[in-house]
Structure 1
Amino acid sequence: MDASPQDLTIYVDADACPVKAEVYKVAERHRVKVFVVANSFLMIPPSPLIERVVVGGGFDAADDWIAARARRGAVVITADIPLAHRCVTAGADVIGPTGKPFTEASIGMALATRDLMEDLRAMGQVSGGPKPFSGKDRSAFLSALDLAVVRLKRAGFGATFP
């Protein structure tokens, strides 16, 4: 089931998402439809608001599915910078799992930093990945998602279920 253009909808790039439980909590509170998109089967809570989407195993299949539906009124949850760029360009609100929003003003720098770090890792100059996910990150994410949903509701985007 796809959302109509005026529905407020949340799309989760779920394969490595550490904040799915927080998304479900906000969705239930605001009665917003959530699509949990992954390359493999993931458990989701039993709720008419939460729908699992298992895409083919192709490279970027989940990203392509989400990007095709990204629009104004959608909130996309992802740590994937190229996907965030595609969704911001399409007009969606995009939030990383640490609560950091990706915006038109910030996405260019995020892409440049990602590319630089990728090059440095390839040259052996940098090893390791991002810092461990913390309770502070989880709290910041909850606040950012709630704020995005409230702002979109005020802008006239409706919750899926009354």
Structure 2
Amino acid sequence: MRETPNECCVSAPVTILVDADACPVKEEVYRVADRHKAHVRVVSNSPFRVPVSERVKRVVVSDSFDAADDWIAENAGPQAVVVTADILLAERCLKAGATVLRHDGREFDAASIGSAIATRAIMEDLRAGMDGVGGGPPPFRKADRSRFLQALDRVLVGMGRG
């Protein structure tokens, strides 16, 4: 079968996979994705309201442990941007070739994921010794939201050129 001139050069659309259960930037993802004509998959254990759009789909997985993470990791690849704060999910998606952004706009990459995993393990040990007292992530700020918007836009522009 012969390809038409444009078919040989058309690549799969960029898809943003959102680990949605604790994601504070879903609205920002929808806005930036719409501007770049990217597809969005909002993945969670429970239904979330998503915009009415051919490119935005809600994916509700079972409530079994790590079901959302498993779905995201299985669907991650070079044409995917994963939005998550889950370090172990980020590692799986990086191995699949995806670009991974945290909610605050910082990018996980091959150079940073090892130290992020080590820090996570240390913090887990510290929390275990505190009997539930203390911490948690710092509050999400306006500057984090702005940095995320800029990072997602930068990533999508870069993927559109590739």
Q: Counting helix residues as a fraction of each chain, which structure ranks higher?
A: 2
Residue 41 (structure 1) aligns with: 47
Q: Please list every run of at least 4 consecutive aligned residues from structure 1 whose deviation after the TM superposition is greater than 3 angstroms.
A: none
Taking structure 1 as the reference length, the TM-score comes to 0.91
Unmatched 5+ residue regions in structure 2? Answer: 1-10
Helix, strand or coil for the counterpart of 1:57?
Answer: coil
Q: Structure 2 residue aligned with 1:132, among 130, 133, 139?
A: 139
Q: CA separation in 2, counterparts of 1:92 and 1:127?
A: 33
Q: CA separation in 2, counterparts of 1:30 and 1:46?
A: 17
Q: Per-residue deviation at 1:48?
A: 1.1
RMSD: 1.5
Question: Identical aligned pairs, as a percentage?
Answer: 57
Unmatched 5+ residue regions in structure 1? Answer: 156-162
Taking structure 2 as the reference length, the TM-score comes to 0.91
Q: CA separation in 2, counterparts of 1:79 and 1:47?
A: 25
- Where does 1:2-81 land on structure 2 (aligned, <5 Å)? 6-81=12-87
CA radius of gyration, larger in: 2
Residue 110 (structure 2) aligns with: 104
Q: CA separation in 2, counterparts of 1:45 and 1:22?
A: 12
Q: Deviations over 1:104-142 (max 9, x none)?
A: 000000000011000000011972111100000000000
Helix, strand or coil for the counterpart of 2:110?
Answer: coil
- The size of the alignment, in residue pairs, is 152
Q: Per-residue deviation at 1:7?
A: 2.3
Q: CA separation in 2, counterparts of 1:55 and 1:100?
A: 27
Q: CA separation in 1, counterparts of 2:76 and 2:122?
A: 27
- Structure of greater relative contact order (alpha carbons < 8 Å, 6+ residues apart): 1
